[in-house]
Each structure stands twice: as structure tokens, then as C-alpha cells.
Chains A and B, each alone.
Chain A
């Protein structure tokens, strides 16, 4: 995962509440079992006047000329609600978004962002529309305003850690815990099937 340290970019406003992952990337745009090829389907129902011909809706914010090359998206309350599909984050990242600033996030979407080096910032977004923003993760600031972030996820993002590799380093501790748990809760552990 690429480390996230600082980011300066124009912020694209999508100031609607309850933007759901079905809209961020509709199921019918998830055409392969891979993680790529999703950017064209990002916000397909809103971004195109006609989804099949990909005719852009000029009124949709990411089609605005100011959005070209922008890496920050602004959202309303409960951003990323709905389906757990990580494709929503992969689609945003593939299009070029590296941080989302929203009033609040749905929990699974937020966790998915963190596993892909995309920074979710909970902060009132309204004043940031189309402004150039500077995010400093180490200092936890957006244009000087402080934002909160869980220390664990901050470290993950700053260092761009491979979380699985990190946890595997603790395998001895996990193995010891499991050995004790097998005695305490034997019913959890199932026989390997033939």
C-alpha cells in the first residue's frame, strides 16, 4: 500500500447525504472478479445522462472541468452506506480520489478506505467546495483544521503497511491464544472436511 502523508488538491463537492455504494459503483459495472476496470463505472447512474453510451452529465461534479486531476471528494452524512463492496473504494481510487472528506461515513466503507490507502476524514465539508485543500495526516489537519483519526489506522496509512504481513508477525501470540481457546471453547473448532 502506498503511504499517505500529505495531499494538496482541489476538493470536488458531492454534498448529498446517504451516498450509497450501489451508486458509487453499481453492481452491473462490476464485470470481472478483479479489482480494476472500475473507474468508468464510478457514479455511473449520476455521472452519465445515458449509462450505456457513457454520455456525460455536465452538471455532475466529477464532470466539471475543475474536477480534472482532483484527488479529494467531499460527501455528506453517512457516505458510502449500503453494500460492503470494496469495489466502491477501488473505483474511487482508480479514478484518482485519494481522500474523502464527509460529515460521516458508513462503517464498512470507512474500513475499506483504510485498507486501500484512501484517507476518510470526518469533518464538516460544506466550506471546502471547489477549494484547494492541503491535508497533513501526521499533523491531522485539513487547511489547518484538526481532524480525528484512530491511532492504529493513522500508522497504517502513514507507513503504507501491509496489514496482513504485520499481523502475521504476531503469529506466535495468535497461535498461543488459539491453543488456549481450543480448550476453553472446543465447539468453535471444526473438523477439516474430507
Chain B
């Protein structure tokens, strides 16, 4: 009679507070170099040590240089101090660091499952809103701020009331050329960027079961764009198999707890939504919120004037055919090996259009980069006119320093199309890696299903 989230919650309730909230044990904490130093230095100043350093991990992903031959130096002015101060503070606290030039370096949400840090049924927090990505493995994983990160590190717990629960049932088969990214954008378009309203969202249904783990991560990744507390998918054999034997994970998942990680059939949710996955087309955003998303075959709607003005498109214009300047494949949403493979399939034997001023592929982790190179994907990208980078967040967001030229229109496999997210005045259209690749070839926003022979 309990939901998956309730089961995980109850298994972590270390105490209750006098006002009715819970003290929830935190199993795994991830920091990154953009905010890690602030939290660790504040703790050190208060004389508060990390309770269990062996369960705190530090990634270098947000502002690291992604050009080949990188060092601690960053293109972001002053960025190096974020890296060195985080490293020093993390070393002093005895934390595990995946450093700039380590084999295991990568975007936190990509390397965590690679290394078996996230586990089904565990609680995992990080000062990063896309921590929800890791809910794909049946972990209760959510983003927090710096103060809560300090609380989690010092006490091993967080104080909070159990979030309300929402079930989103996704049935039907995704059509050829349609991905988890399109599904996430279609949900945002249908229910709005506030649609999750602080709920812990469990994705269920045949369309979810059919997704591989990379795609489940893409779906859960955008739970934060939906204003959800987090997203989660009940772990199945595929999820256990993906983690078993990884460096920080058990060899087998054989205890009764692992087998209990699903919502009971009669469990009650605070809210329920359902959506037909078979109706989804490749999606692309037209505005400045992820909810401003439409099928690539549709026309720009009569949306908020401010968004239309920023993006520079008129209502009624077909979104396909919009000229683009930049193509970006990367981010914790879509930079895993399967994402790169699918994009490479479209780009094989083709070249980006002459009007494209810049095209980049940034693998989500150093391990993804090595695996892609072992398959020769980097040659396909390079031959097609894409730069091949070291792993990191890169131009998913603009920190100062490296950026696209002002006013550029980008097609991007990332998760946020906010005003200025990729730089001042940059107009971002978010889409799947396939749609980014197809658009780069065409020089305009394009439907990946029209790239002949590429998709089956």
C-alpha cells in the first residue's frame, strides 16, 4: 500500500522533528567545483567536519575547459580558483575527487551511475538541480542548495517533509526518430513548466519500461524543468544489471529491499497524469521556457510576447526551416554513448551546412569519450564538421569566457532554453541529439525523420 517514494522515504527516516518533518538519512552526496568550495569552506570556518567522507564525491564538470590538452585553467575569467579551492577543501575533508584530468572525470550525473555511486533505493543529493537524472535507477535523488549540502555533509541527513507524490503513466510505443527527450519536452508542453508542482514524480507505463537506462536518465533529467521535487523510475532487472559490479556498487542486488522497490498496485498518489507516448513527434522548443515546445512539424504559437521577442520568431511561422548558427550536442540530458551513437548515425557520410558557424560534441564523461573513440564516432563527428571535445558541462550554460557569438541561434541537446542561458542574447532551441544533427546538416531546424536512410 505504499508508493516507491514512500518506501524509500520510510527506509531512510532516522528521526522525526517536533514540528512533524522527517530527518532523512542521505546515502550519497555529490559536489561540483562551481559551488563545492563555498559549502566546504563555510563548514570548515564553523569547525564542522564531514560526518562520513567516504560517501561524499566531488566532480569537476561545470566550468572545466573542454578543449583538448586541458589543465586547471578555464576560459571563464577567474574560474581556476573554483577548481583549485574545491580540490583543496575536498582533499582536506578526505572526499573522493574525480579530478580534471582523471580517467573518471565527467558530468556528475553521468559518472555517478558509471561508477555505481547511485544505487536503487538510495538517497542521493547534490547542489545541482539535475540530480534528478539519477532517479532513472530507482534512487531518490534530488537537487539542493549549498546550505542543505552543508547540512547533509555535517549531519548525514536532511530535514524535510515528505514531498507529495505524482504518477505519470506513459503508455504506447515511441515512433521511429522519437526519443525520451521528445517525450520530456512533450510533457512540458502539455502540462507546463510548473506541472510537477514540487511532487516526487514516478514515471511508469509501457513506454517507460521500453526505454534503456540512458533514455530513462534523459526523461528523469528534465523532472526539474517540470518543477518536480524529483523524478524516479522503479528499478527493473535492466537497472540492476547496469549497476551491478561497478566500482562502488554491490556485485549482486539480492536483498529483499532491492526487490521491494516498486509502487504497490493499490498505492495512492497525490496526483496522477497520463500521456500517450505514441502520439509524440520529434520536439523542439520555440521560446524561453522548456514548456515552449512544439513538434518540429508545427508552427510557432501565439505565446508570451516577451518570449517571442527574445527568440525572434513570429507566431504562425513553421519552426522547421528556421536558420541556425550553432549546433551543440552535450549536457547531462543527452551526452551518453547512446546519444552520441544516434547522432553519429545521422551524420555519417554527411556534413554540416555552410551556414553553421560552430558545431560541437561534448561527451558527458571521459569514459563516454573513450568508448565513443573506440567505436570511431569521433571520426564521424570530425568529418561532419563537429568539434570533438573533452567531457564537461561546456556550453550547456554560459559562465563567461567561452561562448557563442552574440545573437547566435543554437540548436542544442541541453535542457534549458532560458534567456541568456547559453550566453547574452543567445537564442536556444532544445531538442534531441537526432534533431540537432539533422538541423546541423540542413542549416535550419529540421525533422530528423527526413534524413534519408538514417533512421530505422
**A82 touching B418 in the complex, CB below 8 Å, given contacts A107-B229, A191-B54:** yes
Task: Name 18 interchain pairs, CB-CB below 8 A, sorted by A.
Answer: A17-B193, A17-B304, A18-B194, A31-B78, A35-B42, A51-B424, A78-B227, A86-B127, A104-B197, A108-B145, A110-B198, A111-B145, A112-B148, A115-B145, A164-B151, A174-B25, A185-B11, A188-B119
Q: Mark A14-31, 1 if CB is under 8 A from B, else 0.
A: 001110101100111011
Do A150 and B122 have beta carbons less than 8 Å apart?
no
Q: State the main secondary structure of chain B at its contact with A.
A: loop
Among candidates A89, A150, A188, residue contacting B161 with C-beta atoms closer than 8 Å: A150
Whether A178 contacts B248 by the Cβ 8 Å rule is no
Q: Which residue of A lies closest to B416 (CB)?
A: A82
Q: Is the CB of B129 within 8 A of A84?
A: yes
Q: Which of B14, B85, B156, B419 contacts A33 (CB 8 A)?
A: B85
Tell me, in angstroms, the Cα distance from A145 to B52 when the chains sit together. Answer: 45
Given A33-B82, A167-B155, is A181 in contact with B119 using a C-beta cutoff of 8 Å? no
CB distance from B250 to the nearest CB of A (A): 5
- Render B18-40 as a binary contact track against A, CB cut-off 8 A, 1 for contact: 11110101010000001101100
| A interface list, Cβ under 8 A from B | 16-18, 20, 22-23, 26-28, 30-35, 45, 51, 77-78, 81-86, 89, 104, 106-108, 110-112, 115-116, 150-152, 154-155, 163-164, 166-168, 170-171, 173-174, 177-178, 181, 184-185, 187-193
Asked if B151 and A22 sit within 8 Å, CB to CB, the answer is no
User: Shortest 3 CB-CB distances between A and B: which pairs?
Assistant: A28-B400, A86-B145, A115-B147
- Residue contact B15 to A177, C-beta cutoff 8 Å: yes
Cβ of B55 < 8 Å from any Cβ of A?
yes
Asked whether any CB of chain A lies closer than 8 Å to the CB of B203, the reply is no
| Known A51-B424, A187-B119: A164·B48 in contact at CB below 8 Å | yes
Residues of B within 8 A of A151 (CB): 19-21
Question: Is residue B146 within 8 Å, beta carbon to beta carbon, of the partner chain?
Answer: yes
Q: In whole angstroms, what is the CA distance A31 to B249 when docked?
A: 37
CA of A22 to CA of B419, assembled, Å: 8
Q: Would you call B421 an interface residue if the criterion is a C-beta within 8 Å of the partner chain's C-beta atoms?
A: yes
Known: A18-B194, A152-B21. 8 other contacts (CB 8 A): A16-B306, A20-B416, A35-B146, A106-B227, A108-B145, A164-B46, A177-B15, A185-B257
Report B156-206 residues with CB < 8 Å from chain A CB.
156-157, 159-161, 163, 193-194, 197-198
A35 to B249, CA, bound (A): 36
Nearest to B48 among chain A residues (CB) is: A164
CB distance from A86 to the nearest CB of B (A): 4
Decide yes or no whether B17 CB sits under 8 A from chain A: yes
Please tell me if the beta carbons of B420 and A152 are within 8 angstroms of each other in the complex.
Answer: no
Contacts of B298 in A (CB 8 A): none
**A192 contacts B14, CB within 8 Å?**
no
Expressed in whole angstroms, the Cα–Cα distance for A154 and B37 within the complex equals 29
Q: Which of the residues B144, B255, B291, B424 comes within 8 Å of A18, measured between beta carbons?
A: B291
Cβ-defined contact, A84 with B145, below 8 A: yes
CB distance from B430 to the nearest CB of A (A): 13
Contact B399 A81 (CB under 8 A): no
Closest to B200 in A: A107
- On whether A155 and B19 interact (CB within 8 A), knowing A22-B397, A178-B25, the answer reads yes
Which residues from A are CB-within-8-Å of B197?
Answer: 104
CB neighbours of B78 from chain A (8 A): 31-32
Q: Contact at A81–B193, with CB atoms within 8 Å?
A: yes
| Interface presence of B379 (CB below 8 A) | no
Interface status of B94 (Cβ within 8 A of chain A) = yes
* Given contact pairs A152-B161, A187-B119, A193-B54, A170 touches B416 in the complex (Cβ within 8 A): no
CA distance A61 to B289 in the complex (A): 21
